[in-house]
Structure 1
Amino acid sequence: MSVEIRKTLLQVETTLVEGGKAAARPLVLYTALAVLKNPWAGLGYVEDLGPEIRRVAPVLGETLTAMILGAVGSGEAVEGYGKAAVVGTDGEIEHASALIHTLRFGNFYRSAVGAKSYLAFTNTRGGPGAPIMIPLMDKNDAGRRSHYLTIQLAVPDAPAADEIVVALGASVGGRPHHRIGDRYQDLKELGHDLDNPAAV
């Protein structure tokens, strides 16, 4: 049985001016998403989600990664990245989580962009037009606050009650006028060991 994708969407958002000041380097945010039939819809409580994870997640990972790379131009150019899933009202949060919290999904994107950081995420439930929030972080440096970004969008007719929206996000650039420093600066000022931040 094939993966039932009803539609895909690719969005590119470019910020040229922030806070009334022109950006020295525009911030470009990319979103690739798929609206698909929830593979567990109508089945009641399913104990073992594994078979559908193994069938569906790789298709989504490969499809959405290809959409992002096609828009950005290369994996190397991607600086920030993240993922999200919104399950319709007949589904469980676990269904949204199942499709994005597996290496069978995320490793396509990680490998393609050469990332070291984990993929920031949200997994929520909602109806058509529900907000889709994709948190981003630097693909190689989790403490680089300039790339703490959030993409927000919505699909007017998705997810239907028996659907899931799965999305990947990317940034080229960070916030145009970032000026709050990085996590390492705080650690240093607070007297923490940069190699062992939990130590006092």
Structure 2
Amino acid sequence: MNEIDIRKTKITLETTYHDRGPPLAMPLRVGCAMAVVHNPFANRYEPDLMPFQGRLRSVGERLAHELLEVMGGPDNVQAYGKGAIAGEDGEIEHAAAWHEAGGWAMRAALGAPRAIVPAAKTIGGAGTRLMVPLGHIHASYVRSHLYTAEMTLWDGPRRDELLFGLFMASGGRPYARLGGLAADQISQHDGQR
């Protein structure tokens, strides 16, 4: 039980050239790296999930580096998020093990940005669609970078599996114009403002 059993990984890249407005000067790129893994706690209660969470760091590191390569490096990432789906024989706490493992790995790969990594988790079967919140990597109050991305895998998670995902985006919403703190106004560098 020391190794994480990865059945498959998947990386997606969505590119938006416009959103029914003028062409974007720089297309918005949103990438997602996913891994579907065996859930060693399916159908049973495990009181100590901390060792499992620690072992998941290797999955987080792998996904973060593969996704960063697709995004073209840290300089091309302004927003991030993470998601997890436990198969039907798992529990929500099994999905929650991804909080530290996935978030830590992504922050390390990006040079330790301070903003919280937004997250979503649920329980579902193969093909479950999870909408994952995204936020600016340096300041959670940058309103233009608050939006969502979709995580789904057609054949996972199966009942005894977990699906973990990391997201990176090259910018905020196309044509964001509803006020709030702008990315170029980040001043406190405290992960909030």
TM, length-normalised to structure 2: 0.88
- Residue in 1 that maps onto 2:38: 37
Report the alpha carbon displacement of residue 116 of structure 1 after superposing the two structures with TM. Answer: 1.1
Supply the distance in 2 between the matched residues of 1:180 and 1:153 (Cα, whole angstroms): 26
Structure 2: unaligned runs, 5 residues or longer: 183-187, 189-193
- Residue in 2 that maps onto 1:112: 109
Supply the distance in 1 between the matched residues of 2:140 and 2:78 (Cα, whole angstroms): 11
Contact 2:151 2:165 in 1 (8 A): no
Report the alpha carbon displacement of residue 181 of structure 1 after superposing the two structures with TM. Answer: 1.0
- Residue in 1 that maps onto 2:11: 10
Supply the distance in 2 between the matched residues of 1:108 and 1:153 (Cα, whole angstroms): 18
1:59-98 deviation line (CA, Å, top 9, x unaligned): 1111111111110121232100010000000000010002
Deviates more, 1:1-10 or 1:106-115: 106-115
Structure 1: unaligned runs, 5 residues or longer: 185-194, 196-200
**For residue 86 of structure 2, what is the amino acid of its counterpart?**
V
1:16-45 deviation line (CA, Å, top 9, x unaligned): 120243223211100000001012124x11
Contact 1:25 1:173 in 2 (8 A): no
TM, length-normalised to structure 1: 0.85
Instruction: State the percentage of identical aligned residues.
Output: 38
Superposition pairs of residues 1-200 of structure 1, within 5 angstroms: 1-42=2-43, 44-55=44-55, 57-98=56-97, 100-102=98-100, 104-114=101-111, 115-182=113-180
Supply the distance in 1 between the matched residues of 2:99 and 2:12 (Cα, whole angstroms): 23
Aligned-residue RMSD, C-alpha: 1.8
Aligned length: 182
Larger Rg: 1
More strand by share: 1
